Amino acid sequence: MNMMAGTVPLSLTVNGEEVARMVAPRTTLADFLRTDLELTATHVGCEMGACGACLVLLDGVPVHSCLVFAVQAQGQSVETVEGLVASGALAPLQQAFHERNALQCGFCTPGMLVNAHALIARGSVPDREEIRDAISGNYCRCTGYEAIVDAIEAAARKANGEGAE
């Protein structure tokens, strides 16, 4: 074990690519992604785990990247909205958000998409209460949540072959 001051070496996988950088231990994963890797789809709102704009997948599950220091992600796998868009994984959700007008300013949307993606990936159609529970830690301050729940529900139905209503 090393007691490390200054910057420390960090290697992890981001959107499928190996990344190695020197980071200050106090750098959050959110700041590392945005500043060091210029992956700015991860939004930083409250920096205290309340708003949900900074969600990323860490080893496959949604976490607040503002509540993880980058050094804690050593050896782990991070997927950001950029990666999920590039792979096409978010396309049905993006389409549903577009069709339902489920965003206005768009600041909260990346976090909404990450949580909605993880919810739909569970493989069944969630009811509206489950959708609301899943995004209960995602704040939207402009549209209200009705259209967002509509969009997630529509995308979940489509993903499970039920077609849009």
Which positions lie near another protein, rule CB under 8 A?
1-5, 8, 24-26, 28, 31, 47-49, 52, 55, 58, 61-64, 66-69, 71-72, 74, 115, 132-134, 136-137
Q: Name the residue nearer to another protein (CB basis): 9 or 101.
A: 9
Tell me if 97 sits within 8 A of 148, measured CB to CB.
yes
Instruction: Give the nearer residue to another protein in terms of CB position, either 37 or 58.
Output: 58
**Running DSSP on this structure, what letter comes out for residue 51?**
S
Host H or E run for residue 118: helix 109-121
Could you give the C-alpha distances from 165 to 45, 72, 92, in angstroms and in order?
A: 34, 43, 15
Q: How far is the CB of 97 from another protein (least distance, A)?
A: 19
Question: Residue 8 or 89: which CB sits closer to another protein?
Answer: 8
Minimum CB distance to another protein, residue 96 (Å):
20
Q: Work out how close the CB of 95 gets to another protein at its nearest, in angstroms, rounded to a whole number.
A: 24
Strand partners, 77: 13
Q: Please report how close the Cβ of residue 118 comes to another protein at its closest, in angstroms.
A: 8
Which residue, 66 or 147, is less far from another protein as judged by CB?
66
Burial state string for 8-39 with b = 16 or more CB within 10 A and e = fewer than 16: bebebbbbeeeeeeebeeebbbbbbbbebbeb
